[in-house]
Amino acid sequence: MSKRKICVVIINRANYARSKSILEAVKKHPGLQLQLVVGSSTLLYRFGNAVDVIRKDGFKPDMIMYSIVEGENPVTMAKSTGLALIELTSIFDNLKPDMVVTIADRFETISTAISASYMNIPLAHVQGGEVTGSIDETVRHAVTKLSHIHFPSTKASRKRIIMMGETGNRVFTVGCPSIDLAANLACTLDDVRTRHEKSGVGGSIDFTKPYILVVQHPVTTEYGLALEQINETAKAVAMSGMQAIWLWPNVDAGSDDIAKGLRIFREKFNHPFIRYYRNFPPEEYLALLKNAKCIAGNSSSGIREGAYLGVPCVNIGTRQNGREMGKNVICAGYNHKQILKAMRFQIAHGKYPSNKLYGDGKAGMRIADILARIDVKIQKKLSY
């Protein structure tokens, strides 16, 4: 019997981290054939050429696509969505997948969803039903309405998906695939140190001493405020006196502002203990997260993987508004005093117990199993 062709579309580094265990499980599954599409910011130097990491991990892209319209503002995000939609449609038309898997809530996610929908290809969506801030939430729920199979991370997310009118027996609480990596982490801090002594720019980091991790993305619905917002975080980090590993933001409306803010900050203060990095492979990132005294910013990784790993997290601003959080998270506004206070509390507190809120480390395997056996009716119906 021919294998079911599962096409997974990877479009940025976070995306890859959240689908790596799915890729592995689909690749290994006897009833499935993996079709891998890699595009968008994964191909860009500015975002750390994630495609190289993907290749080094043993995955060979069946197709690649450049689809980012440059500008990092609301206009170019919308245009990039359109360009990715055109490109992905040609790709699906040539690869002829039996099912398409799309992850999370970025603009390429909805490009993937619309393309598969119109092409009558059953669509599986990972990480639906979550409540957060920004345009991402809006897009995430729209993708839910386009999807045939849902793989939410949490029970509360599953419930919300069903309330939105999706049929319950198509909604599977499998946990977040990013937890799979955290649960099976072989990479150590020492590995990271060895590999990255020369990468990054800015101050120097002694990996044997305590450090904090900072990741702050622009909030697209607050476009124009990113520069100011990043300043508050930068001040708090500088005042904390801790070493800091600072990651470059995603490509998004406003990321230019953040990059600009970081550059100004760096030029001006030339802070000796803050070092800036473009990208880490998922496992190295998790090793950094696991060993951080605290993660600050607005990345969901502090909340998701942070919960499982018990890493103290200071969540800044509105980007994660409404997301389910474990006890490891303290929230702060865009205000350096609030941020600093929360960071100090978290550093003093130290590790939290592991919390399985976002999964137990077996999501990828569950997803592959379900994709191998499920039958999908293309015509969707509201459940009420």
Q: Which of residues 132-151 bind its own copies (CB under 8 A)?
A: 133-135, 137-139, 141-146
The H or E element that residue 175 is part of is: none
Kindly report the backbone phi and psi dihedral angles of residue 79, in degrees, each rounded to the nearest multiple of 5, phi listed first.
-65, -40
Is 114 near its own copies (CB under 8 A)? yes
Which residue of 1, 2, 56, 94 would you call a contact of its own copies, by CB under 8 A?
94
In this structure, the number of other CB atoms found within 10 A of the CB of residue 49 comes to 17
Number of neighbouring beta carbons within 10 Å of residue 65: 22
Render 309-354 in DSSP notation, one character per residue. Answer: HT--EEEESSTTTT----TTEEEE-S-HHHHHHHHHHHHHH-----
| Tokens 């998270």, located at residue | 329
Report the residue number, 317 or 361, with the smaller CB distance to its own copies. 317
**Amino acid making up residue 241:** G
3, 55, 70, 351: which one binds its own copies (CB under 8 A): 70
Pick one of 55, 322, 327, 351: the residue that binds its own copies (CB under 8 A).
322
Nearer residue to its own copies within complex by CB, 84 or 311: 84
Nearer to its own copies among residue 157 and residue 240 (C-beta): 157
Element spanning 212, H or E = strand 211-215
Minimal distance, residue 331 CB to its own copies, in Å: 16
> Which range binds its own copies by CB under 8 A, 251-259, 305-313, 351-359, 367-375?
251-259
| CA–CA gap between residue 85 and residue 304 (Å, rounded) | 29
Q: Which of 22, 38, 65, 307 binds its own copies (CB under 8 A)?
A: 65
CB nearer to its own copies: give 141 or 344.
141
Q: Decide if 249 contacts 255 (C-beta within 8 A).
A: yes
Nearer to its own copies, 81 or 240 (CB): 81
- Residues in 25-44 that interact with its own copies by CB under 8 A: 43-44
Q: Which residues of 2-17 are buried (b: 16+ CB within 10 A; e: fewer)?
A: eebbbbbbbbbbbbbb
Q: Give least dist CB 138 to its own copies, A.
A: 5
CB-nearer residue toward its own copies: 93 or 206: 93
CB of 221 to its own copies, least distance (A): 5
Determine phi and psi for 326, rounding to 5 degrees. Answer: -85, -175
Cα 258 from Cα 218, distance rounded (Å): 7
Q: Which of residues 340-359 bind its own copies (CB under 8 A)?
A: none
> Quick one: which segment of 3-11, 204-212, 249-257, 347-355 binds its own copies (CB under 8 A)?
249-257
Residues 171-210, interacting with its own copies (CB under 8 A): 201
Is 238 one of the binding residues for its own copies (CB under 8 A)? Answer: no
Upper half-sphere CA count for residue 325 (Cβ side, 13 Å): 21
Query: What tokens does 81 get?
Result: 């969505």
Count residues near its own copies (CB under 8 A). Answer: 76
Among 2, 45, 169, 353, the residue binding its own copies under the rule CB under 8 A is 45
Residue 244 found at the interface with its own copies (CB under 8 A):
no
Q: How many CA atoms lie within 13 A of 179 on its CB side?
A: 25
Binding status of residue 160 toward its own copies by CB under 8 A: yes
C-beta neighbour count of 55 within 10 angstroms: 13
Task: Give the residue with the Cβ less far from its own copies, 276 or 308.
Answer: 276
